[in-house]
Structure 1
């Protein structure tokens, strides 16, 4: 049924494209569909079943499918990631510059004014077509197609992208979401290497943290990963750096990478590790996803599972309380990092969640957070310190909102970030300046979160072995700030919210001139992004980019080698 339904939809979509004057012909698309085994599908906005008009033509709404989308539209991570037309930040489903979009009212998804006539479901930034990638030849075919037809190519995984790199108007997409294999290799030796084996997992690029963590726990293993149930472990997270609440002791995602299988833009499936294609391997360990090639699988080092000490800190939410908690946090941040603590401070929730495997007893953990405990209890809050049997216990609680909470998805998202060096904590005066600048960021944004997740103190990897910005190694935390807007906001309102995000971090940028920003969680208008994202590594990354992708078939906003905003691929940015 699925093939028949989509074949019919594909034919209709091709006809619509021809009317619009797109370069590829019906025969071109049909030939590509045959080449990829019938896995070429039209890209359809996720809320389309709620509309009676799609791209200016009457269509029949589907009440059942509409109900499912409405139920899962806001803050439902896995269902949204399972829909090709669904994105974490819904502004990248639409075309922000023109207002063309097909979205529901995220504050009330059943609000009929968003989808009832005369509302039209427009394509926005959703790719016109996508290939449901199953094998390397699918990627090779896509590279050949876009090279000869001159249309943009994007790579989409879970859609958890805050810069819109996985969508693009008039594009062909490679959807790697269904590459979900996981294999435990107790003594993995990278291809072509002569070395001792390493305990590892080989993971398809579509496998998400919920699946990976469960697999690791079932096999009594510890996998270094992030904090969102839907994010894919070896996709943009793993290739962009990959910070984790356990990075103090086990490094970042790029520190655990042992090998990638990647199709480069010349259509060749390559193995990249320290013994072959080592320059490409280095670039993939921090240079960003969807830039140097399309990764199909990655092999990552894992460790024996172990218990963790966890501190769950909660306080009544107010600006004054947040400032007091943040002040004591900044005073103690270096000591906490040295004891292996990592986690997330979320001001709007009045929560700080911390984990460490560096302290062996709960008594030691309680003593470690004594200063924070004193302040929080004086505010009427609580600090619960306990030992948990493994990382999965915390992660499942985090997803459920028991031990902290995931960021919301399914809303417009103007996000910015700043990585804060440890030296800004060195003196009382520098901490006071840091407190004021951080409160400025908090007070001028809709949502904020401090990621106490840098690899500060970790020495298991040489800095030069990965391409991640070296500033991560000497920093204690990063902050993200978010602004948003109503579904029917005007262009001026959207511009104002992006400007507010840039301005919210101005004070932090000023007092951290040696800091940086994480390109996976960055302001799309980040000043001097090349240096801010990659530091001294950018020149080498650009050289590798030009070697493997001389025609820049993989081009994404503020990525290595970005061609600039003038290309049609980027016409929807503001």
Structure 2
């Protein structure tokens, strides 16, 4: 579908008219009727759709009713079902962590066998394609009035509202049984401004910035930035968007050492708050909302339609690609030992990247060192990898996009897979835990516990350690990010037909996988975007000392909690029916 124009191009008159039209609708209180849905569809210009599970064309039963399989459409789904990042995010019912398409607690689901999507045992009778956690309906959002209308509708009808962007959400916040969803995927504008001054500010000089629609994904943003000889600070998955979960949750990046997190680069947001008002949030107006949006989490304070972020001149990078044998715990421990011994120096020298024990890979990129200095910097890791039968290369690439395309294509490391159930946990690891040989040895033991207790592990060497161009107090992310060197994520999975007991055990194992790390980092936390759904003391873990202020802002802009999601600011109860599918 074509992208929407930037909000900055919309006339104020048009916005005033559309918002007024939305506000003039009166919805009767009570459960929505068929006529209510028809009226809602008319109000949003025919862009209300049923939320049909992606794999439904393969089934002969859908929610207990006979249906006719569509062989051609089923074949397309099967070909792209597992680990196709861009295709899966281009359909409303596609989610990166596949378990949030399902109702995990009841096994109501519409899943193929992710290990073999053509396996007929998953979709032929008596298998029934159930709705699971896919929202019943969704609005394909193209303008602010769509959001205002939705807020009014759910307030009157008392049904859950969720926001879905790319579906790369490990907390399940973009789905929910019996809900109405706002799908912002098609807000895909990207514009460049060499002298951006936030609206309402009296600065005499602006900053080079890109303004991106809420649905703009890193694959397109990076290409656009490259074409304009710029670097955009973003994440490591081409299908993720710059606003929403990644952008509002903090946004760690392989560039964070030099340029900070995503929220450090945010200059302005256009956001519809739950009162239906389109607001501009920046350093000069709605400052409290701007602060909350810079780390307080997505799906919480409003629906962001576009964001403007500072960008930087493109440049060359040193790329260290270190490969070591997998399946040998002694070698894995050796790599982790050398890595932890050198992590502080590597971070100080502005290296960023990803260490994936599961795949036997460490890929690092550096924007500041010469080739000789870069080689010396990673020498210990390189020599060890080679000594145990691995290999190590160092090369200069001319641009950030060159590295990122190699990352996506598998020549510079391997991305983590999507399109499978994922029980995920994480921990942010402070620099203080690297201070002495004894603390580093303790840390290696904890990291090995994580390796031994999980199907997949990855260290995101991507914190803003050493970055100080933005004051930490200007953002609402957990302050622990500033004094930490990396985070580790651990993942466990299950098969499409596993029972509830297996799923519970899988989550329990994942929680346990970072238990030792939690115990030796008691003042640290976890990343709100990539965390255990059973994260203990999640308010402090995700936001630290910032949580009370965030809660106050939540109550100001969303006093009726029209936006509510699992372990988001202001969330209070797992007994709400909208969370019945969590385990």
- Asked if Structure 1 and Structure 2 have the same fold, meaning a TM-score greater than 0.5 normalized by the shorter chain, the answer is yes
SS of residue paired to 1:520: coil
Cα deviation digits, residues 80-132 of structure 1 (max 9, x gap) = 00111110011100101111000100111000010001111000000000000
SS of 2:529's partner is: helix
Query: Does residue 421 in structure 1 map to residue 418 in structure 2?
Result: no
Distance 2:196 2:111 in 1: 45
1:324 equivalent to 2:354? Answer no
Matched, 1:354 2:364: yes
1:234·1:298 contact (CA, 8 Å) conserved in 2? Answer: yes
Q: Distance in 2 between matches of 1:362 and 1:503?
A: 41
Q: In the TM superposition, what is the alpha-carbon distance from 1:371 to its structure 2 partner?
A: 1.3
1:5 counterpart residue number: none
State the Cα distance separating 1:381 from its structure 2 match. Answer: 1.2
TM-score where L is the length of structure 1: 0.96
Mapped to 2, the partners of 1:315 and 1:97 lie a distance apart of 39
Residue 345 of structure 1 corresponds to 355
Q: What's the CA shift string for 1:237-256, capped at 9, x where partnerless?
A: 01100000010000000000
Name the structure 2 match of 1:262: 271
The runs of at least 4 aligned residues of structure 1 exceeding 2 Å deviation read none
Q: Distance in 1 between matches of 2:379 and 2:257?
A: 20
1:418: how far off?
0.1
How do residues 563-574 of structure 1 correspond to structure 2 at under 5 angstroms? 563-574=572-583
1:211 aligns to 2:220 (yes or no): yes
Aligned residues: 553
SS at match of 1:65: helix
SS in 1 for 2:200: coil
Q: Quick one: distance in 1 between partners of 2:459 and 2:410?
A: 17
| Contact 1:157 1:232 (C-alpha < 8 Å) held by counterparts | yes
Equivalent residue number for residue 91 of structure 1: 99
Offset of residue 382 of structure 1: 1.3
Counterpart CA distance in 1 for 2:265 and 2:366 is 18
| Secondary structure, aligned partner of 1:297 | strand
- Any gaps of 5 or more consecutive residues in structure 2? 2-29
Find 1:58's aligned residue among 31, 54, 66: 66
Counterpart position of 2:552 = 543
Correspondence 1:486 to 2:495: yes
1:330 and 1:481 map into 2 onto residues whose CA distance is: 18
Instruction: Please say if residues 555 and 563 of structure 1, whose CA atoms lie closer than 8 Å, have aligned partners that are also in contact.
Output: no
Once residues 150 and 142 of structure 1 are traced to their aligned partners in structure 2, the CA distance between those partners, rounded to angstroms, is: 12
Asked if residue 560 in structure 1 is aligned to residue 569 in structure 2, the reply is yes
Q: TM-score, normalised by structure 2?
A: 0.94
Q: For structure 1, list consecutive stretches of 5 or more residues without a partner in the other structure.
A: 2-21
Match of 1:447 in 2: 456
Partner of 2:17: none
Q: How does 1:187-266 map to 2 (within 5 A)?
A: 187-195=195-203, 196-266=205-275
Once the two structures are overlaid, the 10-residue window that deviates more, 378-387 or 527-536, is 378-387
Map of 1:374 onto structure 2? 383
The 5-angstrom pairing of residues 74-85 of structure 1 reads 74-85=82-93
User: Corresponding residue for 1:26?
Assistant: 34
Q: CA deviation at 1:563?
A: 2.8
Q: State the alpha-carbon separation in 2 of the partners of residues 358 and 523 from structure 1.
A: 35
Who is 1:102 aligned against?
Answer: 110
Tell me how far 1:236 sits from its aligned partner. 0.9
Could you say what secondary structure the match of 1:238 adopts?
helix
Structure 1, residues 126-146: CA drift from partner, whole Å, max 9, x if none? Answer: 000000000000000000000
State the partner residue of 1:117: 125
Q: Is the 8 A contact 1:180 1:203 kept in 2?
A: yes
* Post-superposition offset of 1:321: 1.0
